[in-house]
Amino acid sequence: MTALRRVALALALLFGRAEAAPVCSAEDVVNARAAAMDARDWEALYEIFHRFGHCTAVSASEAFSQSIGRLLASRWSELYELEHFAEANRAFRAFVVEHIDVTISVTDLRRIVDQVETCPGYARPICREIAERSRYALRLRSSGVMEAK
């Protein structure tokens, strides 16, 4: 253990308790995946984020990505809901942006990139992030990182 870590641990013990990250059980992974696949709007995804956002298992993460891709591609007219939740909770914003990845279908990624062009002024910052991540995922897919779905 480095000296810096010892000092940090000592301070944590002295001034507060160090809390471990929530554990994601096998049951949580199954429930997170099912809930993510059933998410029909941003409010539902926001609730799922609060319940299961700590689950980083591949199957749960892929389900989060697919749901986020589906919502961005098919419910662009409800971007205001995403913006509302993303501004209220920066961790949720990061969660959404981080899950725009190569596991989203090429069709959805292309639709997202096209729709970002119609981004309303109030949402431009998050639209830039969405566009960057979507374009990056498309580049990775076209480079052969993942076969097209």
For position 23, what pLDDT does the model report?
Answer: 84
Cα–Cα distance, 60 to 53 (Å, whole number): 9
For position 24, what pLDDT does the model report?
Answer: 87
In tens, the pLDDT along 81-91 reads: 999 999 999 99
In a domain, 5, yes or no: no
Phi, then psi, of 115 in degrees rounded to 5? -70, -30
Q: Which two tokens stand for residue 145?
A: 């990182």
For position 22, what pLDDT does the model report?
Answer: 74
Query: Is the per-residue pLDDT at 9 higher than 70?
Result: no
Cα–Cα distance, 148 to 13 (Å, whole number): 49
In a domain, 7, yes or no: no
Number of neighbouring beta carbons within 10 Å of residue 101: 22
Between 20-29, 34-43, 45-54, 96-105, the lowest mean confidence (pLDDT) is in 20-29
Average pLDDT over residues 14-29: 69
In a domain, 31, yes or no: yes
In a domain, 4, yes or no: no
Quote the percentage of the chain above a pLDDT of 90: 79
In a domain, 35, yes or no: yes
In a domain, 117, yes or no: yes
For residues 138 and 113, is the Cβ–Cβ distance under 8 A? yes
In a domain, 81, yes or no: yes
Average pLDDT over residues 105-132: 96
In a domain, 18, yes or no: no
Which residues form the domain of 36? 24-142
In tens, the pLDDT along 134-149 reads: 999 999 999 987 644 3
Q: Which residue type sits at 59?
A: S
For position 35, what pLDDT does the model report?
Answer: 97
Beta strands in 49-100 (DSSP E): none
Query: Is the per-residue pLDDT at 76 higher than 80?
Result: yes
Query: Is the per-residue pLDDT at 113 higher than 90?
Result: yes
Name the domain count of the chain.
1
